[in-house]
Structure 1
Amino acid sequence: MSEYWVMSDQPEAFYLPAGDDVYEPTRATESPWDSAAQHGGPPTALLAHVIDATVGPGMRLARVSVDFLGPIPRRPARVEVTPLRPGRQVRLTEAHLVVDGRAAVTARAWHIATGPTPPVETERVPPPPIPQAPDEWESLLGMPDWGYGQAIEWRFIRGGREPLGFAEVWTRVRIPLIAGRKITGLDRTLIVADAANGLSATLPIKEWLSIPPTMTTTLLRHPEGEWVHLDCRTHLADDGLGATHATVSDPGGRLGDVSQPLLIRRR
């Protein structure tokens, strides 16, 4: 059965521009673990969005790797961008989300120049259809209401109510990433990508931590439309580590992949 969130008093966006490359996070960024912290999805999307704006036409973001250097305070943050490898064919750019003078998140993004269509076409296989919205909704994985969870519509094909080690869900972000700017397909994809480990949790998340210190998203093409599909699976090792992999799609077919190593600990 599918399920989704209904949000009252919905914020204008995940972030409010505050001038001089500073962004103020709203309640929509709220982590399920700490109301004073941000979920990793919105900062990931914000850094990629700002990096993407520095790259000229004819290049497309192909991969972004994000390192979470600790809990991300839900306070105003400045985004600092540095080109590391300028180029006309490939370009590497780094960005930092700086809160209270400390880098809380670091992202590195590779852009690759687009070119002529290759002589071989990869078949697009669409994911399962988007389920109908149910008449009632339940808490995501049994968690109480929290900003990030409510800012996204979740329609599950598998999983969503209890830890299973896998989940398949269609998502639709309800609000813009940045107030006053139209949300893009890239924004939508990266806002939800970091949710893969929580969606496919193997242990009760009220009792166990499943923390990804880093995440990598590789994109085959530019996302299209409002809906993003995640097919997630988490595996655990016997020494307190884990790994999550997710295939990301839109209604037209596969978009790319998400990879997250995990710290697994009892709370």
Structure 2
Amino acid sequence: MSAMTEAFYLPAGDDVYEPTRATESPWDRRAQHGGPPTALLAHAIDATAGPGLRLARISVDFLGPIPRRPVRVEVSQIRPGRQVSLSEACLVADGRAVVAARAWHIATGPEPPAEGEPFAPPPPPDEAVPFGFPGLTGWGYGEAVEWRFTGGGHGAGGTARVWTRVRLPLIAGEKPTGLARALIVADSANGLSLALPMEEWLSIPPTMTTTLLRMPEGEWVHMDCRTRLSPDGLGLAQATLSDPDGYLGEVAQPLLVRRR
């Protein structure tokens, strides 16, 4: 980054976190991109999960712009259990909830005797093309992630295939986790695979769901993204997540599509 920060968030005590410039949204520099808050809520929920449970799905609702000011995380359990459990968390800023998340944890167990449909891995990261975002210089979130395209991208009519590598820890003083690496970038599916020019059209996801078969093993997460539009002003962005070892999961974002 042009002015590298320590992490996406700095702990400020009592479940309060201060967002750094690495959370900066491309739509409004005073707001946060949806990826870091999603990862922060998942991190908080995951810390409350019982032994042997792994996060399998998280749905995040963006209730409005997420200000780049100190935020508080609140976690509660909805459906406790030893085999499956459901929890929720809210990100509170200026006294109001700005992001709400619900996550299912599922108990791990013996390896099944089948793997399912074969998955063709993408080309390795060192064969991909480094990429910047035209017109978005000095953009905190964009600089906090390394982007290497394997196909598509802006101007490719709603498709993009890209390796991502998160450059910073989610929280200062803590090591990056596979869960954070996946969720920091998951909310970028629509922005990577825009079907219409960003300068002329808005493509806003009010919610996002990520389902994970497993966690990334290393630094790199690949996103195979596509966006489709309906005749009445809606859209759907989706992404298949993988890493060098194979398939990880899926992302889905319904979209509000409007001319600026």
Q: TM-score, normalised by structure 2?
A: 0.96
Q: Does 1:103 align with 2:97?
A: yes
Pairing partner for 1:35 from 11, 29, 48: 29
1:80 shift after superposition? 0.1
Query: Counterpart of 1:73?
Result: 67
1:209 and 1:264 in contact (8 A); partners too? yes
The question of whether the paired residues in 1 share the 8 Å contact of 2:132 and 2:147 is answered with no
What does 1:1-267 align with in structure 2 at a 5 Å threshold?
Answer: 7-122=1-116, 123=118, 125-132=120-127, 139-162=132-155, 164-267=157-260
Cα separation, 2, equivalents of 1:139 and 1:120:
40
Task: Give the Å deviation of 1:111.
Answer: 0.1
Report the secondary structure of 1:110's partner residue: strand
> What residue identity is the alignment partner of 1:82?
S
Single out whichever of 67-76 and 155-164 deviates more from structure 2. Answer: 155-164
Q: Select the structure with the greater relative contact order (CA < 8 A; seq sep ≥ 6).
A: 1
Following superposition, the deviation at residue 139 of structure 1 comes to 3.5
- How much does 1:141 deviate? 4.8
1:27-79 Cα shifts (integer Å, max 9, x gaps) = 00000011100000000000001100111220000000000001110000000
Identity of aligned residues (%): 73
Secondary structure in structure 2 of the residue aligned to 1:55: coil
1:99 to partner: Cα distance: 0.2
Write the distance in 1 (CA, Å) between the matches of 2:3 and 2:93: 26
Taking structure 1 as reference, are residues 266 and 158 closer, same or farther at Cα in structure 2, changes over 3 Å only? same
Q: CA deviation at 1:142?
A: 4.0
C-alpha separation in 1, matches of 2:134 and 2:60:
25
- 2-side partners of 1:138 and 1:228: how far apart? 15
Cα distance in 1, alignment partners of residues 127 and 114 from structure 2: 36
Cα RMSD over matched residues?
1.4
> 1:126 deviation in Å?
2.3
C-alpha displacement of 1:163: 5.1
Task: Please tell me the residue identity of whatever aligns with 1:127.
Answer: P
CA contact (8 A) 1:246 1:259 kept: yes
Task: Give the whole-Å Cα distance in 2 for the aligned partners of 1:257 and 1:184.
Answer: 18
- 1:161, 1:113 → 2: CA distance? 40
Corresponding residue pairs, total: 259
Where structure 1 has 5 or more consecutive residues not aligned to the other structure, the ranges are: 1-6
What is the alpha-carbon distance in structure 2 between the residues aligned to residue 240 and residue 167 of structure 1?
21
Equivalent position SS for 2:181: helix
Are the equivalent residues in 2 in contact too, given 1:85–1:93 (CA < 8 A)? yes
Return 5+ residue gaps in structure 2 as ranges: none
Q: What is the CA-CA distance between 1:127 and the residue it aligns to?
A: 2.2
- Contact (CA 8 Å) 2:43, 2:180: kept in 1 or not? yes
Supply the distance in 2 between the matched residues of 1:146 and 1:8 (Cα, whole angstroms).
9
The answer as to whether partners of 2:5 and 2:22 remain within 8 angstroms in 1 is yes
Cα deviation for residue 132 of structure 1 reads 4.4
Letter in 2 for 1:198: G
The SS at the match of 2:125 is coil
Deviation at 1:105, TM superposition (A): 0.1
